């Protein structure tokens, strides 16, 4: 059964940015902060320059993205976050300081995400509707917390290649193959150099072509500290220009895709493909 993408499109290409800057490094080293600044500075290229390069590229293409931002980053870089909102992009949750949900208990999850939602809303004037887990790490507890916070969709799981429902939350699925981190993340000491921009553009063009043939979603995830560098932004612009120009490809934000899925599913909890997964059916442990 082919998925009914918005406006009769044959497939969808969703462009998303995880604007997390130095927050993953700060969370990872929180117990031994140390004096090293190399990786911190590498990651700060994102808020300092990479994000602006990506925003200009998207303005050139008239493409709107979903930008997932940890609350701590929004608090530290409010001007950049305001700029994202003013240029018409969607802002969504990405933890407080990039802490994976599996490391927090229920009350800490609710507290940190509530604070992050307040921070994003305070800057943009709009409450976020979506969530992406830091490191795409999820647990069963978080679904209840997201419902309580009024979050309507998640974008962290890989159970399908089109939107589906998990515990009543719309899942707009991701894919490691179209995330820039496995290709570009290089912080020294790795025997393998980072992928070149032309190589990544070629690989992702094949992913987009295949999505077009199969009627599926190609979810692209980039990080400003990685893909915001000049040759990489140029590669993205040349990759995405024909996508934006192709009426057979829907380029809606993750939030718009989630809303479309919920409307088409009739709000009854029945997904279009029959993949309405309740985590209770999978045997939720008593201790969650």
Stretch that binds Zn ion, among 14-22, 56-64, 148-156, 161-169 (CB under 5 A): 14-22
Q: Is 137 in a helix, a strand, or coil?
A: coil
CB of 166 to Zn ion, least distance (A): 20
CB of 238 to Zn ion, least distance (A): 25
18 binding Zn ion? (CB under 5 A): yes
CB of 222 to Zn ion, least distance (A): 11
Closer CB to Zn ion, 135 or 271, in the complex: 135
Indicate the residue whose CB is closest to Zn ion.
20
CB 3 within 8 A of CB 273: yes
Closer CB to Zn ion, 20 or 154, in the complex: 20
CB of 223 to Zn ion, least distance (A): 7
Stretch that binds Zn ion, among 56-64, 73-81, 129-137, 175-183 (CB under 5 A): 129-137
Stretch that binds Zn ion, among 12-20, 71-79, 237-245, 256-264 (CB under 5 A): 12-20
CB 102 within 8 A of CB 126: no
154 binding Zn ion? (CB under 5 A): no
CB of 111 to Zn ion, least distance (A): 19
The whole-angstrom separation of Cα 74 and Cα 66 is 15
Closer CB to Zn ion, 101 or 134, in the complex: 134
Q: For residue 75, what are the contacts with CB-CB under 8 A and spacing of at least 6?
A: 119
Closer CB to Zn ion, 97 or 272, in the complex: 97
Sign of CA dihedral 177, 168, 255, 241: positive
Residue of 15, 20, 53, 80 that binds Zn ion (CB under 5 A): 20
Closer CB to Zn ion, 28 or 269, in the complex: 28
Look-up: residue for tokens 């979903």? 66
171 binding Zn ion? (CB under 5 A): no
Contacts of 82-87 with CB under 8 Å at 24 or more apart are 82/123, 82/124, 83/51, 83/52, 83/55, 84/19, 84/51, 84/55, 84/124, 85/123, 85/124, 85/125, 85/126, 87/55, 87/58, 87/59
The whole-angstrom separation of Cα 48 and Cα 58 is 17
Q: Compute and round to an integer the Cα radius of gyration of the chain.
A: 18
Closer CB to Zn ion, 20 or 160, in the complex: 20
The whole-angstrom separation of Cα 152 and Cα 255 is 9
CB of 191 to Zn ion, least distance (A): 25
CB 77 within 8 A of CB 48: no
Stretch that binds Zn ion, among 16-24, 144-152, 158-166, 274-282 (CB under 5 A): 16-24
How many residues in the shown chain lie near Zn ion by CB under 5 A?
3
Site residues for Zn ion per CB under 5 A: 18, 20, 134
């Amino acid at each position: 059964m082919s998925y009914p993408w918005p406006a009769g499109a044959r497939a969808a290409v969703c462009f998303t940015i995880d604007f997390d800057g130095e927050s993953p490094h700060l969370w990872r080293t929180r117990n031994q902060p140390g004096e090293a600044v190399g990786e911190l500075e590498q990651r700060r290229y994102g808020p300092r320059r990479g994000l602006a390069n990506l925003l200009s590229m998207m303005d050139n293409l008239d493409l709107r993205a979903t930008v997932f931002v940890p609350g701590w980053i929004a608090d530290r870089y409010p001007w950049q976050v305001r700029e994202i909102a003013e240029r018409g992009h969607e802002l969504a949750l990405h933890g407080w300081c990039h802490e994976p949900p599996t490391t927090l208990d229920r009350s800490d999850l609710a507290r940190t995400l509530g604070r992050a939602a307040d921070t994003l809303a305070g800057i943009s004037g709009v409450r976020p509707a979506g969530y992406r887990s830091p490191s795409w790490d999820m647990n069963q507890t978080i679904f209840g917390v997201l419902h309580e916070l009024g979050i309507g969709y998640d974008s962290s799981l890989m159970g399908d290649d089109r939107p589906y429902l998990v515990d009543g939350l719309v899942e707009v699925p991701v894919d490691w193959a179209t995330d820039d981190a496995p290709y570009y993340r290089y912080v020294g000491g790795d025997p393998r150099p980072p992928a070149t921009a032309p190589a990544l553009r070629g690989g992702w063009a094949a992913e987009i072509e295949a999505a077009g043939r199969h009627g599926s979603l190609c979810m692209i995830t980039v990080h400003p500290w990685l893909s915001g560098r000049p040759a990489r932004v140029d590669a993205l612009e040349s990759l995405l220009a024909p996508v934006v120009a192709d009426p057979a490809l829907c380029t809606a934000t993750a939030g718009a895709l989630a809303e479309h899925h919920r409307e088409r599913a009739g709000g009854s909890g029945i997904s279009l493909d029959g993949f309405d997964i309740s985590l209770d059916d999978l045997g939720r442990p008593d201790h969650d």
